[in-house]
Amino acid sequence: MGTPISTPDQIRGALQFLASDTRCSERERAALRDLREHGTDPVLTRLRALLR
């Protein structure tokens, strides 16, 4: 297992990776891209805490 995701930039990288997953619907990929591009650092940090 790799290093835990902890910074907003790492969260954005994970969202970018997930948005490239072809198993996701186009709508899901668009939502992930929007979150990556427009999510503020506090929002992304809170998202990480919720997903733990």
pLDDT, tens digit (0-9, with 9 covering 90-100), for 1-27: 577 888 889 989 988 998 998 898 999
Largest CA distance in the chain: 29
- What is residue 3's predicted lDDT score, i.e. its pLDDT? 76
- What is residue 6's predicted lDDT score, i.e. its pLDDT? 82
- What is residue 26's predicted lDDT score, i.e. its pLDDT? 93
**pLDDT over 80 (residue 50):** yes
Mean pLDDT for the stretch of residues 23-51: 89
Burial 26-37 (b: 16+ CB within 10 A, else e): eeebeebeebbe
